[in-house]
Structure 1
Amino acid sequence: MKQQSGVSTRGIGFELEQLRRDAELTLQNVATALGVSISTVSRLENGKREATPEEVSAILAVLGVIGPTRTRLLDRARGGDGSGLVEAANPTVQSRTYLNFETRASVITDFELMLIPGLAQTPEYAHAIISAIQVDEGEPTIEVRVGRRMARQAILARSTPPAVNLILTEAALRLPIGGPKVMARQLRHLTDLCERPNTSVRVIPSTVAGHAGLLGQFVILDFPADRPVVHVEDRTTGLFLDDPALVALYRLTVEKLTTVALDEAGSVELMSSIAREFTASEEELR
């Protein structure tokens, strides 16, 4: 049986591909400079073969990549068997790694405990969230981070978009992030997304006091020809997992969450009702 590539190996390859595109070089350009075949470079970029530190160093030299990016990728290439990846939660680096996986996924299953998932956020809601959680003045500006989050949503408008399954809690829908007007608009946006054939939103009602997702949010990313990846994030760490046993545990969690969630019609009805409540509240404040 063919050995599938590890999540770290795939992450390195995807980033090398993006760096090559940024440098406006073709596979042929890189292969010629290295004295190898195009298929060799392609397999490294696709994560089909683990790149040695020497190969990564050579490719980065051809691409003219220096400084922190070069150091980080070489450190990752020296990191071991490629079966998992832990990254410091740097808003630039980690979002790039996650984006590389997200843009290639055919199915995205996102459970959020207290927030609306990024792929479903409106600009106003995203701005309010990022404003609240950003504590490091050295991070990219709020506007830059909002722009990046909105850019991610372009995958939903592709000719063949991924299937997106969102599981939320009623508590997340009722948390007045940004105020009533922002929340009313956000909830209406969620109900609009439900009209898309590739998007599903399921809400766990507040009557369900305990459920399998209480430990926090996670995303399962499925791919047409590679192992699925689970992404778990907190303030300081981003964890990418593709061990089959661990992925199976998160899938079981999704099954249990889906069991206690409202069906799609009930979820839309609840979201619409809460949106009306926020609208009424906003009108009272005028």
Structure 2
Amino acid sequence: MQRQNVNSRGIGMELARHRRVADMTLEQVSRQLGMSVSTLSRLENGKREPTSEEVAGILAVLGVTGGDRQHLLQQVRCISHFGMVLGKAGPRTRTYQAFEAEAVAITNFELSLVPGLAQTADYARAVISAVRVNASRADVEARVSQRMSRKAVLTRKRPPQVNLLMTELALRQPIGGPKVMANQIRSLVALADQENVSLHVIPATVPAHAGLGGSFVLFDFADHPTLVFIEALTTGLYRDDPDDVATYRLQVENLDAVALDKSGSVELMRSISRDMEGRASGPDMA
């Protein structure tokens, strides 16, 4: 069985999205291209490595121009069997959301933040405003709205198993202020009660742990290889090399070994939330 690469899967999902936006069927596009429906379907499903000519032709039929066209053609030129680097925020976010929606299990470790799927709107707004220093208010709000829309995956009919790992130090940093942080932690406590969610906190008493190397996400799929996602400010890197995936699975095992169990994590979060509430109502916050 031929091994799919990450890039082909990402490009295929974007081609399928553009076709839906153009309100065209596979048959309509294939007829205009002179390409078989099965070939076009394999391209959209990431089961066939695309050529620049094929992607350019499909985009022309769909009327895709400008930055989206340039981005996809660049991805075709940079195809690698071991990873995919995405730069532009728009396409990068869409690709991430597509993988997130397709996954049957998502494991997210965050070193200094609450994982994106678990963020409240006020917390997300504070984070995005701090990180995106040149973003306009409208851009920040658009990103917050997009992040909140991702949370629908947690409560859909067949939700993925979501495993969230975070640090106590991240929860004690009053991002957005004590009141925002208290609300965020209460939201985490409620989320921990969902059957499809596993939430564990690494206490500050742990002197060092495997997660100090940085945050990451593991996506497991029913019919595709597991992906690792590592994000930086302006880029995102996907890796599906089996050795890389095995390394990050070991990271998860090591982090689980030092994290509190569910009851201990919830007890700690409730304690931090009370501390934040006290700070929010204190005289210095009046």
TM-score, L = length of structure 1? 0.96
CA contact (8 A) 1:91 1:139 kept: no
The 2-side partners of 1:136 and 1:282 are apart by 29
Moved more, 251-260 or 49-58: 49-58
Residue of 179, 190, 201 corresponding to 2:188? 190
Secondary structure of 1:227's match? coil
Partner amino acid for 1:43? R
Deviation at 1:235, TM superposition (A): 1.4
The 2-side partners of 1:140 and 1:184 are apart by 26
> Residues 262-281 of structure 1 correspond to what in structure 2 (within 5 A)?
262-281=260-279
Residue 251 of structure 1 is matched in structure 2 by: 249
Deviations, residues 62-87 of structure 1 (Å, cap 9, x unaligned): 10111121122112112244431112
1:242 and 1:32, CA in 2 relative to 1: closer, same or farther beyond 3 A? same
> Residues 79-94 of structure 1 correspond to what in structure 2 (within 5 A)?
79-88=78-87, 90-94=88-92
The question of 1:36 aligning with 2:51 is answered: no
> Residues 153-168 of structure 1 correspond to what in structure 2 (within 5 A)?
153-168=151-166
Deviation at 1:248, TM superposition (A): 0.6
1:85 and 1:139, CA in 2 relative to 1: closer, same or farther beyond 3 A? farther
The question of 1:45 aligning with 2:41 is answered: no
TM-score, L = length of structure 2? 0.96
Residue 261 of structure 1 is matched in structure 2 by: 259
CA contact (8 A) 1:50 1:82 kept: no
Among the aligned pairs, what percent are the same residue? 52
Query: CA RMSD for the aligned pairs?
Result: 1.4
The 2-side partners of 1:189 and 1:201 are apart by 12
Deviations, residues 33-73 of structure 1 (Å, cap 9, x unaligned): 22233222111111011111111111111101111211221
Partner amino acid for 1:253? Q
CA contact (8 A) 1:6 1:81 kept: yes
1:55 and 1:119, CA in 2 relative to 1: closer, same or farther beyond 3 A? same
Residue 128 of structure 2 is matched in structure 1 by: 130
Moved more, 66-75 or 214-223: 66-75
Secondary structure of 1:166's match? strand
Residue 69 of structure 2 is matched in structure 1 by: 70
Partner amino acid for 1:10? R
Deviations, residues 87-116 of structure 1 (Å, cap 9, x unaligned): 22x322211121121111111000000000
Deviation at 1:140, TM superposition (A): 6.5
Greater share of residues in helix:
2
Deviation at 1:240, TM superposition (A): 0.6
1:137 and 1:268, CA in 2 relative to 1: closer, same or farther beyond 3 A? closer
Residue 199 of structure 1 is matched in structure 2 by: 197
Secondary structure of 2:229's match? strand
Deviation at 1:139, TM superposition (A): 9.8
- Structure 1 gaps of 5+ residues are none
